[in-house]
Structure 1
Amino acid sequence: MSPRLTEALTVVSQAVNSELDRLLPVSESPDSRVHEAMRYASLDGGKRLRPFLVMQSASLFNVAESAAIRVACAIEMIHCYSLVHDDLPCMDDDDLRRGRPTCHKAFDEATALLAGDALLTKAFEVLVNPATHADPVVRCELVADLAHASGGQGMVGGQMIDLQAHTLELDVAGITRLQQLKTGRLFSFSCEAGAVLGKAHGELRLALRNYAHDLGLAFQIADDILDVEGDVAEVGKRLNKDADAGKATFVSLLGLERAKSQADMLAEQACRHLDPFGEKADLMRDVARFVVRRRS
């Protein structure tokens, strides 16, 4: 990772943690356990790539940071809720996430389920608040876009296909669609959120959508590669899950070296989509190159 990206990610991560801490206060009421679980699942963890993309895309249109950080936190709440639910025994049944016990292991299954539900709904509460944007049309568009990206036509739909993947004979096109839904739609929302906040349309928004499409696929191919040759201590979660479950992946279908080549090609293609923004999008280009070289 380049020094400038490392520094920029650290700054955004700290800002997101601070805002999440404010948006998810500690409770001393009888429901305090679910609030503790929400904080456990969302504070001080992960690379914060999706929030970072929100902040960077917003900066392309000179959007106030106070607005962008709220959208960044909303997408992170959605992402963290999905991880909590994915880790449950009825889904992927994982014990480790980000190098520490998963939410249902640190608390219990029922609390983890409720914490995920609460993070999901809190995200939309944040978006619809006038503090996110003065224009209600913009707030409604953000809510509609995030609902589409995270629901049955997006992340949830992709997860449903993934749960059945071991019984399906998925080819590269099938795996690509699965990952576009499960992973790509949230990346698309993150990248286009800046354009929505800045009321930008047309070619500039399309450029961000195309960037997100290629970035999401590159990210997932890199994930499949890490699942095969990563180190548990670095990755922070169980590896070889897909192979053990008999699921087709980009690596199993393309082979390791071709998968790496495809990821690199997609990363560079993603960078080219950002040409209309010039140097202002350099950190987003750094992200595209980072995701295919990351070790976690």
Structure 2
Amino acid sequence: MQAAETGVPSSPGTGTAPAAPGGGFDLGTYLNGSRERVEAALDASLGPERPEGLREAMRYSLLAGGKRLRPILCLAACELAGGEAELAMPTAVALEMIHTMSLIHDDLPAMDDDDLRRGQPTNHVKFGEATAILAGDALLTRAFEMVARRSPGVPPDRLLAVVAELSLAAGAPGLVGGQVVDLDSEGRSVDLETLEYIHLHKTGALLRASVLCGALIAGADQALLDGLRAYARGIGLAFQIIDDILDVTASSEVLGKTAGKDLVADKTTYPKLLGLEQSRQRADQLIDAAKAGLEPWLDRAQPLLALADYITSRDR
């Protein structure tokens, strides 16, 4: 592995939020610009790994597109805390690597057993189960290298805090623990408390890490970190509620993955527990709570506030 040859390109922050023609915040311009910077950084993050088949499998899923919501949240939180987005880009890449690992593993036959992801064959369908598992493992470990070795200009104590946050999000207290409870709950009736536990860990943990890591890189104080935790909890649950709704209401072509999988697997979902209308209302309430967490910083939080609204608008 030749780290010196696979660095992340410089990607300076905007410093100010893009304005819409009417004078408000232009989310479309912000998302497009942020995605372009993230995509360039992701493309540069994987170098001449050997064997070539492993590198191909890693790049296949990492560069398959998607909303890039987690890295964008990281960059936005860094800027909210007064930092330059360029400093947070290696961590933003790391977050997308961990997310991609979770998708590769989640699609495996032993997990959710899906053959479509982002409109393409899943990694194990394309490369075989063994390579898919190892590609996920390689992305997970590369993520920590991105933070530890490719974050010039960030004080070591802040990087250590980021590594700790990522470890919690990716391990048993986060993604892994949520996945275990999710699998154990298939074919069983679970209550709302258990459902929210699954989603606060399986989905919400990495969203929380995204905003907290961006802020940690910028040296955020405890008050802002607490506000971001409240924000992340709200968007994490709302994001999953909308995913549950879309699994019922959208086609596979729209989703880019197999629709109706939760019904086939007999999983408890928000629509199953609450119904579609109450689920939408719950998502809206969570977004309101998320935005309230950032109330003391409203003058600088336009990107994060707009991203919260974007999460619930995905089905409308």
Q: Equivalent residue for 1:143?
A: 163
Residues 1-296 of structure 1 correspond to what in structure 2 (within 5 A)?
Answer: 4-27=26-49, 29=50, 31-129=51-149, 131-295=151-315
Equivalent AA in structure 1 for residue 47 of structure 2 = P
Equivalent AA in structure 2 for residue 19 of structure 1 = A
Equivalent AA in structure 1 for residue 27 of structure 2 = L
Pairwise CA distance, 1:239: 1.2
Structure 2: how far apart are the matches of 1:178 and 1:126? 28
Which secondary structure state, in structure 1, belongs to the residue aligned with residue 154 of structure 2?
A: coil
Contact 1:133 1:197 in 2 (8 A): no
Closer, same or farther: CA 85–282 of 1 in aligned 2, 3 Å: same
Equivalent AA in structure 1 for residue 53 of structure 2 = R
- TM-score of the superposition, structure 2-length normalised? 0.89
Which secondary structure state, in structure 2, belongs to the residue aligned with residue 166 of structure 1?
A: coil
Structure 1: how far apart are the matches of 2:217 and 2:225? 11
**What does the per-residue CA deviation read over 1:270-290, in whole Å, with 9 as the maximum and x for residues that have no partner?**
112111112321121111111
Pairwise CA distance, 1:130: 5.6
Equivalent AA in structure 2 for residue 110 of structure 1 = A
Contact 1:68 1:132 in 2 (8 A): no
Query: How high is the sequence identity, in percent, across the aligned residues?
Result: 42
Q: CA-atom RMSD, angstroms?
A: 1.6
Contact 1:133 1:139 in 2 (8 A): no
**What does the per-residue CA deviation read over 1:75-119, in whole Å, with 9 as the maximum and x for residues that have no partner?**
000000100011111111111100111111122111111110000
Contact 1:26 1:36 in 2 (8 A): no
Contact 2:64 2:118 in 1 (8 A): no
The ranges of structure 1 where at least 4 consecutive aligned residues each deviate by more than 2 angstroms after the TM superposition are 130-134
Closer, same or farther: CA 44–280 of 1 in aligned 2, 3 Å: farther
- TM-score of the superposition, structure 1-length normalised? 0.95
Closer, same or farther: CA 186–276 of 1 in aligned 2, 3 Å: same
Equivalent AA in structure 2 for residue 151 of structure 1 = G
Contact 2:84 2:218 in 1 (8 A): no
Equivalent pairs counted in the alignment come to 293
Pairwise CA distance, 1:233: 1.1
Instruction: Give the gaps of 5 or more residues in structure 1.
Output: none
Which secondary structure state, in structure 2, belongs to the residue aligned with residue 293 of structure 1?
A: helix
Equivalent AA in structure 1 for residue 217 of structure 2 = L
Structure 1: how far apart are the matches of 2:25 and 2:165? 33
Contact 1:50 1:76 in 2 (8 A): yes
Q: Equivalent residue for 2:5?
A: none
Pairwise CA distance, 1:64: 2.3
More helix by share: 1
Which secondary structure state, in structure 2, belongs to the residue aligned with residue 94 of structure 1?
A: coil
**What does the per-residue CA deviation read over 1:148-186, in whole Å, with 9 as the maximum and x for residues that have no partner?**
011011011000111111244310011001100101111
Instruction: Give the gaps of 5 or more residues in structure 2.
Output: 1-23
Pairwise CA distance, 1:132: 4.6
Contact 1:234 1:295 in 2 (8 A): no
Equivalent AA in structure 1 for residue 38 of structure 2 = V
Equivalent AA in structure 1 for residue 45 of structure 2 = L
Pairwise CA distance, 1:53: 0.4
**What does the per-residue CA deviation read over 1:216-244, in whole Å, with 9 as the maximum and x for residues that have no partner?**
00001001000110121111111111111
Equivalent AA in structure 2 for residue 11 of structure 1 = G
Contact 1:271 1:288 in 2 (8 A): yes
Which 10-residue stretch deviates more, 32-41 or 105-114? 105-114
Structure 1: how far apart are the matches of 2:64 and 2:83? 25
